[in-house]
Amino acid sequence: MEMEPDFLDRYQRQLSLPEVGLGGQRALRAARVLVIGIGGLGCPVVQYLTAAGVGNLILVDADRVSLGNLQRQILFALKDVGSFKVDAARDFILKQNDKIAVTVYKEMLSAENANALLALADIVVDCTDNFAARYLINDACALANKPWVYASIAKFEGQVAVFNDRMPNLEVRIQERSHPIDSIETSVRSLNYRDVFPNPPGDGEIQNCAEAGVLGALAGIVGSIQAMEVLKWILGLKGLLVNQLLTYNAIHHSMVKFQLDENSDRK
Amino acid sequence: MMTVQLMSYGALTDITGANSFELEISGEKISVAELKLMLFSQFPALEGKTFRIAVNQRFVSDESDVKAGVQIALMPPFSGG
């Protein structure tokens, strides 16, 4: 995939980072990212991946924009109310960079379409708002050997983790950056969502944002951390939230990283 | 007697009433399973909830030990996005 003609100007601020540079910018341009759910988390994720020059964005969401979405879903404007979220998001992306390849799916992730959608991407971003979708992403990524970046929010708190990454993941990807990321042989995978929470909670046990409420800025903060992990993964940077669960609390501004162990129980 | 520090996350804080609290425990060491029973007796609404226990920021199994001075976290899954 060719770089944008204006890429030296456009990406100067990140090209000057030794961790990015021309090689990193090429990796971003070649990367294929599947974003599932274009809501409170999906909006900042799409916004920052677009701005950073991720070349291929695949967006999945069956919903249309509602007036109540505008409080936290910052890709959308009043004129988008009633439009499909993926269409409005594609308009936003192309207005900023018309060289990005955007593919949209106006459907919910399902057991039927999951494998085909995963096959389109190097890495998956879970911006969904329910456990059924999250466990489906987890299990489909485990079967397909795809890494995925998880995030979820509850009132004033958020969780973020990188699941099912190839281990060891860093040096290999830097050395093989000229190759498509998914051509790298898979081996041992890092822990996944079922290693933290083996089974979904009962129906109605955990409130979603519609029931519990949320301030939009929290979705922005947690979605931005999620976008950062996607960029770090593409760039092969250290410090990914692999075998860890990051929690953020917006009241106290506290962040805690919890360690996951293979031997912690799966009950 | 020993004192352990507990942090609860997400909606579990609605049950425990505070996101940080202390628990006095008789003896010098108990298992995570025993700690759970103590918590269920103090906060009956916790029983049946989905959550993991971490000791000093590391998720542990029911057989793990809880000793004086450790920091316990009660971590539920979050749903929102």
Mean pLDDT per block of 10 residues along chain B (81 residues) reads 95 94 92 96 95 97 94 96 94
pLDDT band at A266 (very low <50, low <70, confident <90, very high): very low
For residue B79, the chain A residues in CB contact (below 8 A) are 129-131, 152, 154, 206-209
Residues of B with CB below 8 A from A158's CB? Answer: 78
CA distance, residue A15 to nearest chain B CA (Å): 31
Is the confidence at residue A1, as pLDDT, over 90? no
* Residue-level pLDDT at A204: 82
| Of residues B59, B62, B80, nearest to A153 (C-beta) | B80
At residue A99, what are phi and psi to the nearest 5 degrees?
A: -95, -5
Residue contact A159–B78, C-beta within 8 A: yes
Look over chain A and give the mean of its residue pLDDT values, rounded to a whole number.
Answer: 91
Alpha helix ranges (H) inside A97-208: 114-118, 131-144, 170-175, 193-196
B57–A153 C-beta distance less than 8 A: no
Mean pLDDT, residues A99-124: 98
The CATH number that applies at residue A25 is: 3.40.50.720
pLDDT for position A2? 86
Q: Is A115 a domain residue?
A: yes
Residue A220, SS3 per DSSP: helix
Size of interface A-B (CB pairs under 8 A): 107
Q: For residues B55-78, b (16+ Cβ closer than 10 Å) or e, as one string?
A: beeebbbeebebeeeeebbbbbbb
Question: Would you place residue A168 in the very low, low, confident or very high pLDDT band (cuts 50, 70, 90)?
Answer: low
Q: In this model, does residue A184 exceed pLDDT 70?
A: no
- What kind and span of H or E run contains A27? helix A21-30
How many domains is chain A built from? 1
**CB contact at 8 A, A131 and A40:** no
Token couple for A100: 């990005």
Contacts 24+ apart (CB under 8 A), B11-16: B11/A154, B11/A155, B11/A206, B11/A207, B11/A212, B11/B76, B12/B46, B12/B49, B12/B51, B12/B74, B12/B76, B15/B43, B15/B45, B15/B46, B15/B49, B16/B43, B16/B46, B16/B74
Domain that holds residue A125: 7-259
Evaluate if residue A32 carries a pLDDT over 60.
Answer: yes
User: What pLDDT, on the 0 to 100 scale, is given for residue A176?
Assistant: 46
Q: Is the pLDDT of residue A187 over 70?
A: no
Task: Give the architecture (CATH level 2) of B2-75.
Answer: Roll (3.10)
Q: Select the residue from A197, A222, A226, A260 to test the B interface by mutation, using most B Cβ atoms within 10 A.
A: A197
What was the pLDDT predicted at A188? 85
A7-36 b/e (C-beta count within 10 Å ≥ 16 → b): beebbeebbeeeebeeebbbbbbbbbbbbb
Q: Is B60 on the interface with A (CB under 8 A)?
A: yes
A206 touches B76 (CB < 8 A): yes
In a domain, A244, yes or no: yes
pLDDT-derived band at A48, boundaries 50, 70, 90: very high
Phi, then psi, of A74 in degrees rounded to 5? -80, 0
A41, A202, A263 ranked by CB distance to B81: nearest: A41
Instruction: Provide the pLDDT for residue A206.
Output: 83
Residue A1 falls within a domain, yes or no?
A: no
User: Token digits for A142?
Assistant: 């485990």
Residue A2 lies in a domain: no
The structural domains of chain B, with segments of one domain joined by +, span: 2-75
